[in-house]
Structure 1
């Protein structure tokens, strides 16, 4: 069994002085989502510093707009879209594509994947195929398979329903199977 390296963002929390000045529900949202947002942004941007800047910008924006954010149909979906916008804007300014394949943390996460997926990556370009998926399928695959979040947590982070996550994963697996010409990469995945 491969040992994973420690998560560099495992202890992120709102500073105590700020937590006292912010609404408790915002602090709870931050505490729940900050780590996942950082890990996702790092995979996309390829830099810890860029990821931290993007995520902090998102949380500052959310904090400033918190009463408005709470009136949205889904706080999670609104915040996830804000994160995606921040990452996309940074990639646009840098004139770069997603850094998924090159990101060092992706290599560490890859070590935890099933041996079949590691074999596919080396022989068939699985990660390049993942990078070509439509946005929602891509996000679900990255959060679930690459970063290791359970499907229910993926739903929470993305602000969508659990059945929708399952649908995105199923659609992504089908597309990957088609793109990689695989028969076995289908609906047999577990939650």
Structure 2
């Protein structure tokens, strides 16, 4: 006998599936593979849903399942996260629309993406979710299953590291909203 998944799982799925897939694609640089991976992650979450929903922050556990799945897939392929290549394509698409205005930004953005890739895991996630994927800080907190002040703390630490590595003019404080 099969059991029907509860509505709160489907609400979770609807809220996070696209974000998880976008994040996975930034890491794996393969839309088909990222879709397969996120489908498998959602199946794992669905199988564990009764336990997860009893936790104080099921999003934290779900985010961990996604991160572990991505790390395992990268390990099987002997690769590192593909943020730089994926970010290059995003930036280069925009640059093609207005080549002259964007070319300098493209060159400096590539150095920034390389520096972002070297951040500690939580700082990296906050930066990618907020600035690469365009989520608001409260959305970043929801996706990662952490408190908003923790997001702000990771953001401050990431900015300090990036400023040290790239120079203070590269990381602007006025970006935080």
Shorter-chain TM-score range: 0.7 to 0.9
Return the structure number with greater helix share: 2
Deviation at 1:155, TM superposition (A): 0.6
Deviation at 1:45, TM superposition (A): 0.3
Contact persistence 2:123–2:157 (CA under 8 A): yes
Correspondence 1:181 to 2:164: no
C-alpha change, 1:120 and 1:132, in structure 2 (3 Å) is farther
Which 4+ runs in 1 deviate beyond 3 A?
109-112, 117-121
Residue 142 of structure 2 is matched in structure 1 by 156
- Count residues in correspondence: 169
C-alpha change, 1:106 and 1:171, in structure 2 (3 Å) is same
Residue 122 of structure 1 is matched in structure 2 by 107
Correspondence 1:82 to 2:65: yes
Residue 125 of structure 2 is matched in structure 1 by 139
Provide the rounded CA distance (Å) in 1 between the counterparts of 2:23 and 2:17.
Answer: 10
Stretches of structure 1 lacking an aligned partner (at least 5 in a row) = 1-19
Deviation at 1:49, TM superposition (A): 1.2
- TM-score calculated relative to the size of structure 1: 0.80
- TM-score calculated relative to the size of structure 2: 0.86
Stretches of structure 2 lacking an aligned partner (at least 5 in a row) = 96-101
Provide the rounded CA distance (Å) in 2 between the counterparts of 1:92 and 1:126.
Answer: 24
Provide the rounded CA distance (Å) in 2 between the counterparts of 1:109 and 1:159.
Answer: 29
Equivalent residue for 1:73, pick from 46, 56, 61: 56
Deviation at 1:106, TM superposition (A): 5.6
Contact persistence 1:41–1:51 (CA under 8 A): yes
C-alpha change, 1:96 and 1:22, in structure 2 (3 Å) is same
RMSD: 2.5
